[in-house]
Homo-oligomer: A and B are copies of this chain.
Amino acid sequence: MKKYKIGIIGATGYAGLELIRLLVNHPDAEIAAVSSVSFEGQDIADVYPNLKEIVPMTLESVDEIIPRCDLVFASVPHGVSEEMAVKCKASGTILIDLGADFRLHDEADYKKWYGKDYKHPELHETAVYCIPELHREQIKNAPVIGNPGCYPTSISLGLMPAIRAGIIDLDHVIVDSKSGVTGAGRGLTQGTHYPDTNEAFAAYKAGCHRHTPEIEQTLTELAGTKVNVTFVPHLLPVNRGIESSIYVQLNEKGRALTAEQIHEIWSDTYKNERFVRVEKLGNYANIKNVRMSNFCDISLHLDEHCGTLIISSVIDNMVKGAAGQAIQNMNIRLGLAEETGLLTVPTAF
């Protein structure tokens, strides 16, 4: 079978490298070209020696690669993806954007949180935001797919069954997330300098992280009513992984249920989902059990004395939180089996 030709824009960022790592073993897709503004003209293995003798490719310019590809992934700063979408439209290339440009439905939200207007509003009318487990039906013909943020993925998958089942108060959602340092990207900052990060731990952007509107957009859509979320991320001294501890109050309907009945709601919701695993009651979702994989593991814990349900949802921020989910979206968009190239065993250690 002919393999789909795939391009990667922003290939030298961490998400770009992870796309390469995963696509190398994809049976129906081949990496046709890689692009980087900072390293154009260099061999990618000179930037990332782990690719030596496996991915012998030279970094090219965006204009060179888009026309040669059936589909491109873009992992570029916000504001730049729109330009990519314009170029892709011209050559009939599908775009999956790992940045923020095509995630928010409401331009006002984009402007508020990212400080920019849309330059090409018409592109946003046909672009589709897609967490596969929630929106897979919507992207079958989309020219542009907005790939979700890492935190929103872990949170939306954790909360979705509760909202659909109508068992929680919606005016009181607290999310305490912790992310590995790759989430901050490859760019150098004092806060991600090794001695400043190792053996350290703190919250950041409490109540003001840019993923907040994306989280609320999905939850509001699910609930049919505006949902506000207090979202506080923390920087975790590990390379990979996000754990989101989600605190919700059970409503009257929810409080009438046993822990086992609540657990069954999640199990039923995800019983046919290949990449969401619901832990047995008593077990705890742990980032190590999803490392290097596209899984989202969810565990449920009931604090009866407060009427609080605690949902712990973990993903690998670079896979289900970025490159893996992007390939899952690619598979859907190209009509391939959704798990193609993604069913690997998490490394545990």
Give chain A's interface residues, CB within 8 Å of chain B.
14, 17, 20-21, 24-25, 48-55, 172, 174, 176, 178, 180-182, 186, 188-190, 192-204, 206-208, 228-230, 232, 234, 236-241, 243, 245, 247, 249, 277, 279, 283-293, 297, 299, 301-306, 308, 310, 312, 314, 318, 343-349
Contact partner of A53 among B25, B277, B305, CB < 8 A? B277
Q: How far is the CB of A179 from chain B (nearest CB, A)?
A: 10
Contact in complex: A289, B229 (CB < 8 Å): no
Contact in complex: A285, B245 (CB < 8 Å): no
Q: A228-B306, A302-B207, A303-B206 are in contact. Are A199 and B284 (CB under 8 A)?
A: no
Give Cα A343–Cα B236 distance, bound, in whole angstroms: 28
- Closest chain B residue to A241, Cβ basis: B201
> 20 A-B Cβ contacts within 8 A?
A21-B347, A21-B348, A50-B289, A53-B277, A174-B308, A181-B194, A186-B190, A188-B189, A194-B198, A198-B239, A199-B240, A201-B287, A202-B284, A203-B243, A203-B285, A206-B245, A206-B284, A207-B304, A232-B247, A236-B236
Q: How far is the CB of A139 from chain B (nearest CB, A)?
A: 25
Residues of B within 8 A of A21 (CB): 344-345, 347-348
Residues of B within 8 A of A299 (CB): 203
Q: A181-B194, A245-B203 are in contact. Are A292 and B292 (CB under 8 A)?
A: yes
Contact in complex: A237, B238 (CB < 8 Å): yes
Give Cα A21–Cα B346 distance, bound, in whole angstroms: 8
Give Cα A270–Cα B237 distance, bound, in whole angstroms: 30
Residues of B within 8 A of A314 (CB): 201-202
Contact in complex: A236, B25 (CB < 8 Å): no
Give Cα A241–Cα B181 distance, bound, in whole angstroms: 18
Q: A202-B285, A207-B302 are in contact. List 9 more A-B contacts (CB 8 A).
A: A49-B279, A50-B347, A188-B189, A198-B349, A199-B199, A200-B288, A207-B303, A207-B310, A230-B308
The 8 closest A-B pairs by CB, nearest first: A207-B303, A206-B301, A202-B286, A200-B288, A176-B176, A21-B345, A50-B346, A188-B188
Give Cα A50–Cα B286 distance, bound, in whole angstroms: 9
Give Cα A347–Cα B18 distance, bound, in whole angstroms: 8
Give Cα A345–Cα B24 distance, bound, in whole angstroms: 7
Contact partner of A50 among B14, B48, B182, B290, CB < 8 A? B290
Q: How far is the CB of A311 from chain B (nearest CB, A)?
A: 10
Contact partner of A199 among B206, B229, B232, B288, CB < 8 A? B288
Contact in complex: B239, A234 (CB < 8 Å): no
Give Cα A243–Cα B292 distance, bound, in whole angstroms: 23
Residues of B within 8 A of A344 (CB): 21, 24-25
Q: How far is the CB of A91 from chain B (nearest CB, A)?
A: 28
Q: A229-B306, A314-B202 are in contact. Are A14 and B195 (CB under 8 A)?
A: yes
Contact partner of A283 among B49, B193, B302, CB < 8 A? B49
- Closest chain B residue to A183, Cβ basis: B195
Query: Among the interface residues A50, A192, A306, which one has the most CB atoms of the partner chain B within 10 A?
Result: A50
Query: Among the interface residues A189, A283, A286, which one has the most CB atoms of the partner chain B within 10 A?
Result: A286
Contact in complex: A286, B201 (CB < 8 Å): yes
Contact in complex: B51, A237 (CB < 8 Å): no
Contact partner of A54 among B203, B286, B288, B345, CB < 8 A? B345
